[in-house]
């Protein structure tokens, strides 16, 4: 009897597929990747002389591959011993599983890739030295030697923003170092740049060895991002700073008397968690007062987030940690860096803009922005315009001007309309230029709304908002002879309304814990002028041969160092304040109205923004220096918060570390953490009709002062506060109050309001958010 050949073919194919799957699984199991291993320092047996020896012994005990002792020793790429205890080690999946079961191992974190969240701001924030009647800058920061650690792409030390003229010697307590490498020597550090280190072992483990010919294997910054953020934090005043003539004026950091320590953790291929963790660990040991971290890697549970764990350790040692909220807006629940011990910073606009106009052939003029500067302008005559999309409302691949999508015979000699999205904005202009286009109109989509971000384009180009984008696209699609010209107006100040919450700024709520409002606040993050690398043009494109000393960038990466620098100012003025006290001062003095005296608006929709967008409001440095009252939080209080998060004893021990913290159950729930914002959640259960939270304020103002209460009305609840007045008799005195929310009618949407304590001099404002959970 003859067998069916088809049957045999199917059996052979299935066998091959099965073999491939088995081989693939085996390869995956054998593949080595980096894991961060947290150890219980107190569990080290007495037979070991030091912790690294014990960690190394643990790692060697689970290795499967037959290796020499040298190879085994090379598995460990970092050891951590300050804010975190353990190692970063290269393991395969099976080895990692075996190590996780070993005694003394608290947690294992897989390597995570982080991304960067990519003047006039001092004047806009009321920090202009000529008008500094309150002495924000006149009091020398060197009296307290505040040092800010910046985790980023490194630093360009030749920038005038890092001139150390007039600064006092580096404080004796500083333990940092100036690590050398290609293009970076000891002389590149000074009394302004007091330290410079690089961290690359995790990066190399994931991507392969760095090519020193293509990338500086040193603290030198060839990307520009790190130089920009460091200068925003603490740049020395530089007169005549500008980008190609735009934003001309004096560029200075938020805390120009502070010192900077650069920790290079980001490379061409990204930023990796083992390197970031090592940088945080080293920075705290070096002696920084503030950590500025303009990067993020998504959200995971507190105990699974190595940066969150490291930031907890930094906070325990008195270091203020600020992190960028992310550029995932305007989508809700798009935040990163949401731990309550991190100050999470969103982005807003300033009152400065760089206007450009698009004049259509039908006589209509559209308003936009641009930082284009070149010999060629398109102002004197009309040029044909073309839009490669199929309709004016929804972008498609042809309309995004992606590389290789434009046909020369269709766009040569024309101004091309390009939708935002997928590829960098300036790269779209390069694509147009390569295809023979003479100019570009960059059009916002629904994701960007009316937010306008200026760019240093390589050809004449202007960006316009969503509403006017529809107008120009409709005109180009309907009229085969559509024309336009572009005009560039330079720099304008006094823009109204401002500030406005940037559309790209990531939004709440905080999905890990609704009771912790995030972001904490917003700060300038759109069109920010600061120092730049000498190794890259202002567009960051490899084809850009221009070199500039200053560049204009946008992102929460820019807003984060504003708050880091202001935190340095507060630390200089109040060296005894905890990180939580500094955060409280920043949040409770933030404002929620723009320069037209209307509520802050959302650039993505032009409607008022909410605390899910702006947190407590827009940072106000002058007020923050003298907040009157602060909501202080001790490290144990943060641990008590974690005790409300349904974590197992093992998971909690990740944060207990060497301090041997245990749950005292002092908080009834997460909403009782003494946070400067109040967020309560009404569950769907109908039997829950009353919720209460407690807060304690510390007097940091006049010794004898009385505060009275103002609280917003709500549709869904009646709010009762006891007591309704607070009477202080000395500085440092603590008084508590209780807020009770009694349900009146269930709402379908969150409600927002505020609780304010006033004494005639100070207004201590806490945002209130009421969340009504839907049925599950």
Q: Which residues are catalytic?
A: 152, 225, 557
Order of strands across the sheet with 734-743? 629-630, 690-699, 734-743, 717-722
Run of H or E including 770: strand 763-772
Helices (H), 531-645: 556-573, 579-588, 611-614, 621-624, 635-642
Run of H or E including 98: helix 93-100
3-class state of residue 117 by DSSP: coil
Neighbouring C-alpha atoms within 13 Å toward the C-beta of 45:
8
d(CA 550, CA 228): 8
d(CA 481, CA 485): 14
Bridge-based pairing state of the strands 601-602 and 734-743: unpaired
228 conformational bin, left if phi > 0, alpha if psi -120 to 50, beta if neither: alpha
Residue among 252, 280, 244 at smallest CA distance from 78: 280
Burial 626-663 (b: 16+ CB within 10 A, else e): bbbbbbbbebebbbbbbbbeebeeebbbbbbbeeebeb
Please give, one letter per residue, the 3-state secondary structure of 555-579. CHHHHHHHHHHHHHHHHHHCCCCCH
65 conformational bin, left if phi > 0, alpha if psi -120 to 50, beta if neither: beta
Residue among 764, 747, 750, 768 at smallest CA distance from 697: 764
Q: Output phi, psi for 141, to 5 deg.
A: -65, -25
- The residues, any chain, with a CB within 8 Å of residue 244's CB and separated by 6 or more, are 371, 373, 456, 538, 546, 548
d(CA 504, CA 542): 25
Q: Where are the beta strands (DSSP E) in 646-750?
A: 678-682, 690-699, 705-711, 717-722, 725-728, 734-743
Q: Output phi, psi for 286, to 5 deg.
A: -65, -30
Beta bridge partners of 441: 417, 462
d(CA 343, CA 92): 35
Residue among 556, 554, 555 at smallest CA distance from 519: 556
Task: Rounding to the nearest 10 degrees, give the CA dihedral for residues 643, 649, 655, 657.
Answer: 140
Give the residue carrying structure tokens 């939004």.
507
User: Which tokens sit at 45?
Assistant: 């047996």
d(CA 348, CA 618): 8
3-class state of residue 500 by DSSP: strand
Please give, one letter per residue, the 3-state secondary structure of 413-473. CCEEEEECECECHHHHHHHHHHCCCCEEEEECCCCCCCCCCCCCCCCCEEEECHHHHHHHH
d(CA 657, CA 41): 7
Helices 649-656 and 635-642 pack at an angle, to 10 degrees, of 160
* Inter-CA distances, 350 with 339, 492, 528, 599, Å: 27, 11, 9, 15
Residue among 206, 223, 214, 220 at smallest CA distance from 113: 206
User: Which tokens sit at 238?
Assistant: 């530089």
Q: How many CB atoms lie within 10 A of CB 188?
A: 20
Give the residue carrying structure tokens 């006092």.
168
């Amino acid at each position: 009897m003859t067998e069916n050949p088809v049957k045999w073919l199917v059996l052979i194919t299935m066998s091959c597929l099965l073999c491939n799957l088995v081989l693939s699984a085996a390869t995956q199991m054998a593949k080595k990747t980096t894991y961060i291993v947290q150890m219980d320092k107190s569990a080290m047996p007495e037979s070991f002389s030091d912790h690294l020896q014990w960690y190394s012994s643990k790692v060697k005990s689970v290795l499967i591959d037959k290796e020499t002792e040298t190879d085994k020793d090379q598995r460990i790429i970092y050891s951590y011993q300050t804010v975190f205890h353990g190692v970063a080690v290269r393991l395969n999946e099976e080895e990692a599983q075996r190590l996780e079961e070993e005694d003394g191992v608290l947690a294992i974190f897989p390597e995570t890739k982080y991304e960067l969240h990519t003047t006039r701001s001092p004047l806009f924030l009321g920090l202009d030295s000529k008008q500094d009647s309150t002495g924000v800058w006149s009091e020398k920061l060197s009296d307290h030697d505040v040092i800010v650690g910046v985790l980023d792409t490194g630093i360009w030390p030749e920038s005038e923003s890092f001139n150390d003229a007039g600064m006092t010697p580096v404080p004796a307590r500083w333990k940092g170092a100036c690590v050398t490498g290609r293009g970076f020597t000891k002389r590149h550090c000074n009394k302004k740049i007091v330290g410079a280190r690089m961290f690359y072992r995790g990066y190399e483990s994931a991507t392969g060895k760095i090519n020193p010919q293509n990338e500086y294997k040193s603290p030198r910054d060839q990307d520009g991002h790190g130089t920009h953020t460091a200068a925003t934090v603490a740049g020395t005043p530089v007169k005549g700073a500008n980008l190609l003539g735009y934003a001309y004026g004096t560029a200075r950091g938020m805390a120009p008397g502070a010192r900077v320590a650069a920790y290079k953790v980001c490379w061409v291929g990204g930023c990796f968690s083992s390197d970031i963790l090592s940088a945080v660990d080293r920075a705290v040991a070096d002696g920084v007062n503030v950590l500025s971290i303009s990067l993020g890697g998504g959200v995971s549970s507190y105990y699974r987030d190595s940066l969150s764990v490291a930031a907890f350790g930094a906070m325990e040692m008195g270091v203020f940690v600020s992190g960028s909220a992310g550029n995932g807006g305007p989508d809700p629940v798009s935040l990163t860096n949401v731990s309550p011990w991190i100050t999470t910073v969103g982005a807003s606009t300033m009152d400065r803009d760089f206007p450009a106009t698009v004049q259509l052939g039908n006589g209509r003029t559209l308003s936009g922005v641009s930082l284009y500067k070149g010999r060629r302008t398109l102002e004197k005559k009309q040029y044909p315009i073309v839009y490669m999309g199929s309709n004016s409302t929804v972008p498609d691949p042809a309309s995004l001007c992606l590389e290789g999508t434009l046909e020369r015979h269709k766009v040569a000699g024309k101004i091309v309309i390009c939708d935002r999205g997928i590829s960098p904005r300036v790269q779209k202009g390069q694509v147009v230029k390569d295809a023979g286009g003479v100019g570009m109109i960059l059009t916002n989509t629904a994701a960007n709304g009316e937010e306008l971000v200026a760019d240093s384009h390589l050809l004449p180009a202007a960006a316009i908002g969503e509403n006017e984008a529809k107008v120009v696209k409709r005109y180009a699609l309907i009229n085969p002879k559509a024309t336009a010209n572009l005009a560039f107006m330079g720099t304008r100040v006094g823009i109204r309304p401002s500030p406005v919450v940037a559309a790209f700024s990531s939004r709440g709520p905080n999905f890990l814990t609704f009771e912790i409002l995030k972001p904490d606040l917003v700060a300038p993050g759109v069109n920010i002028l600061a120092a730049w690398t000498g190794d890259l043009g202002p567009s960051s494109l490899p084809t850009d041969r221009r070199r500039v000393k200053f560049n204009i960038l946008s992102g929460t990466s820019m807003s984060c160092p504003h708050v880091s620098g202001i935190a340095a100012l507060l630390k200089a003025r109040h060296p005894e304040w905890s990180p939580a006290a500094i955060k409280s001062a920043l949040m409770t003095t933030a404002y929620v109205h723009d320069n037209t005296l209307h509520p802050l608006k959302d650039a993505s929709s032009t409607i008022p923004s909410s605390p899910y967008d702006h947190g407590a409001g827009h940072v106000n440095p002058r007020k923050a220096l003298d907040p009157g009252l602060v909501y202080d939080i001790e490290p144990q209080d943060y641990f008590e918060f974690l005790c409300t998060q349904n974590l197992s004893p093992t998971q909690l021990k990740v944060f207990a570390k060497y301090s041997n913290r245990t749950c005292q159950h002092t908080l009834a729930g997460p909403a009782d953490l003494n946070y400067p914002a109040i967020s309560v959640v009404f569950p769907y259960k109908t039997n829950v009709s009353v919720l209460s939270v407690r807060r304690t304020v510390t007097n940091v103002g006049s010794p004898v002062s009385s505060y009275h209460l103002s609280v917003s009305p709500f549709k869904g609840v009646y709010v009762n506060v006891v007591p309704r007045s607070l009477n202080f008799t000395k500085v440092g005195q603590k008084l508590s109050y209780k807020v009770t929310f009694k349900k009146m009618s269930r709402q379908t949407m969150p409600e927002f309001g505020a609780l304010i304590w006033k004494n005639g001099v100070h207004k201590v404002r806490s945002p209130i958010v009421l969340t009504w959970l839907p049925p599950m």
